[in-house]
Chain A
Amino acid sequence: MNRISKHLDSFGAILLACIWISPLLFAFWAAVHTTSDAVNFNLLSSWTLDNFRIAWDGAPWLQYFMNTFLLVTIVLIGQFIITTLAGFAFAQVHFPGKDFVFILVLLQLFILPEVLIVENYAVISNLGLFDTILGVGIPYMASAFGIFLMRQAFKSVPIELHEAARIEGCSWFGILIKVYVPLAKPTYLAYALVSVSTHWNNFLWPLIVTNSEATRPLTVGLSLFGAPENGVDISIISAATIMSVAPLLIAFLVFQRQFVQAFLRSGIK
């Protein structure tokens, strides 16, 4: 009885896994076959890389890749600096009004930048940041989520280390850089993975604040490329899609364990 239920479990789990992964496999299948072979499920037909070549020539992908890369880098650097400073203030510095400000920060977890597109667009335009990569990234830099994460990480640093560094004559800032930051390395890594994958995939906000090839990230480029007005067929869209998710997907498959750990750490507060 137990054996049977165990086999049933395995069967169910694997069946669901196959269903879950199948859209990706179909996309891959379509990407390496001619459109007619792809839609007819001609299992014996030969593979081709033509779709990738046509897709690659159809849009400035290299520029899009560069833009996305630059975007996630800028966002990450900004987030690291801002959340480190704020997280440290909330964790280890005592000042009046701290709790109230912290609640204000937590509120931002729910005021999604996505929902405020109308006014954020106005703010970005007024700052002269429309159609710049900085303009795409800057609203996400003071991430409440990151501040919260850093606060938790810094809170767990033993106070003895802090005092020891202070007796050695270290300044506040020195203590932050030399004691707290190195000890929070795993949190930084986790946060980096979550941040990079979020902003690699972000679409609506970049769609609104970019208006040229020089700033457009991959997701926006991909959506324009696949637009029905362009009349591209399914194999070529699939090739472009596979191409644009490949870096992140490969990174995920290689670092799967760390990735999952990172997401876990980010969710459990």
Chain B
Amino acid sequence: MNKHANNERRRQAIYGWLLLTPAAILLSLFAFYPSLKTFWSSLFSRGTRRNPTEFVGMENYTDLFNDPTFWIVVKNNLFYAGITIPVSIFFALAMALWANSKISARGFVRTAYFTPTVLPMIAAANIWLFFYTPGLGVLDQIGSLFGLPPVNWLGQPETALWAIIIVTIWKEAGFFMIFYLAALQTIPTDYKEAADIEGTGRLTYLRRIVLPLLMPTTLFILVNAMINSIKLIDHLFILTKGGPSDASKLILYYIWEMAFAYFDSPHAAALTVLVLLVLGIAAAVQFLYIDRRTHYQ
């Protein structure tokens, strides 16, 4: 009997590893190995014909820290995250509350909010190009109705990053709305009825009942929005290319530029390692949150 059980256990172990093999190979090839390799190559100098690559330790990192563009890009990305995350979440919440309430034209409203989510970022950027074109674009035409002069939205440092931010918010708010919508539908209607009987105002109900119940969803969206603030850079390629004078350049775009436009992969690797560190922190937050949620259930 015991021997039989042992055999069965061994068979299961072999079976389990066999089933995992394809995933393990691909994950190693395209996630783990590249991560370690990135760290490794960030410690070496860029090889040229005369100077072969050599071990330089942390030099690539100190180069980065001494590179003014690096700090501009980090500042831009923090600003990008600092605006897009709260604003998208705010819009997502408003959209979800509306899309969940008994209003007229609810179907249209839901579709309108969600549609930008299914478009490629490149297409979204092309669409917004028509808004931002100086003089001829929609924004300037509206402005001219009020006698405002044309503005080169994408071409001046003060507005370029804002133009990028608006496209991101437009694209991601509807996506986050879906998660809030799902969470809202799990709130029992009794709460609303009880609040109505007590004569609780709408805002109080929202602040004291709905928002606390939505907290886990908000946290989940927050982590996703953080990841997106690193990931969503496709529209830079169409709208600004990071310009003018780096005013709208974001970290991932800078990595791409260093590696594939300037062929400076060691510095790109060093920057990648820094990004992975930040993502690691996001991962830790997420895991802690999952832990807590399972604790409650």
Check if B26 is an interface residue, CB within 8 A of chain A. Answer: yes
A16 to B110 alpha-carbon distance, docked (Å): 11
- The answer to whether A201 and B120 touch across the interface, beta carbons within 8 angstroms, is yes
- The answer to whether A256 and B101 touch across the interface, beta carbons within 8 angstroms, is no
Chain B residues within an 8 Å CB radius of A222 = 120, 122-123, 126
Q: Which residue of B lies closest to A17 (CB)?
A: B112
- The answer to whether A120 and B30 touch across the interface, beta carbons within 8 angstroms, is yes
Chain B residues within an 8 Å CB radius of A110 = 227, 279-280, 282-283, 286
Check if B84 is an interface residue, CB within 8 A of chain A. Answer: no
Check if B200 is an interface residue, CB within 8 A of chain A. Answer: no
A interface SS class: helix
Interface residue range, chain B? 35 or more
CB contact list, B99-125 vs A, under 8 A: 99, 101-106, 108-124
Chain B residues within an 8 Å CB radius of A105 = 23, 27
Check if A156 is an interface residue, CB within 8 A of chain B. Answer: no
Set A17, A119, A141, A249: member contacting B113, Cβ < 8 A: A17
- The answer to whether B268 and A118 touch across the interface, beta carbons within 8 angstroms, is yes
Q: Bits for B20-62, please: 1 = Cβ < 8 Å to A, else 0.
A: 1011111101111111011001000000000000000000000
CB contact list, A80-113 vs B, under 8 A: 81-83, 85-86, 88-89, 93-96, 98, 101, 104-113
**Which segment, of A19-27, A46-54, A157-165, A181-189, faces chain B?**
A19-27
Question: For chains A and B in complex, what number of residue pairs have CB atoms within 8 angstroms?
Answer: 277
Q: How far is the CB of B80 from chain A (nearest CB, A)?
A: 15
- The answer to whether A245 and B136 touch across the interface, beta carbons within 8 angstroms, is no
Asked if A117 meets B130 with Cβ closer than 8 Å, knowing A21-B112, A93-B15, the reply is no
- The answer to whether B95 and A16 touch across the interface, beta carbons within 8 angstroms, is yes
- The answer to whether B114 and A260 touch across the interface, beta carbons within 8 angstroms, is yes
- The answer to whether A263 and B175 touch across the interface, beta carbons within 8 angstroms, is yes
Check if B138 is an interface residue, CB within 8 A of chain A. Answer: yes
Check if B131 is an interface residue, CB within 8 A of chain A. Answer: yes
Chain B residues within an 8 Å CB radius of A108 = 27, 31
Chain A residues within an 8 Å CB radius of B138 = 26
- The answer to whether B101 and A30 touch across the interface, beta carbons within 8 angstroms, is no
Q: How far is the CB of A145 from chain B (nearest CB, A)?
A: 12
Asked if A119 meets B269 with Cβ closer than 8 Å, knowing A13-B103, A26-B131, A94-B12, the reply is yes
A260 to B275 alpha-carbon distance, docked (Å): 31
Chain B residues within an 8 Å CB radius of A252 = 115, 118
Listed from nearest, the 3 A-B pairs whose CB atoms lie closest are A95-B16, A119-B34, A142-B26
Other contacts beyond A112-B227, A219-B122: 14, CB < 8 A: A10-B103, A24-B116, A104-B32, A109-B283, A111-B31, A111-B32, A115-B230, A117-B256, A118-B259, A121-B259, A139-B26, A201-B118, A208-B256, A222-B126
| 9 contacts across the A-B interface (CB closer than 8 A) | A21-B112, A115-B255, A115-B275, A115-B276, A116-B38, A142-B27, A203-B237, A241-B127, A263-B175
Give A residues with C-beta under 8 Å from B.
Answer: 5-6, 9-10, 12-14, 16-18, 20-21, 23-24, 26-27, 30, 39, 41, 81-83, 85-86, 88-89, 93-96, 98, 101, 104-123, 138-139, 141-142, 144, 147, 172, 197, 200-204, 207-208, 218-219, 222-223, 226, 234, 237-238, 240-241, 244-245, 248-249, 252-253, 256, 259-260, 263-264, 267-269
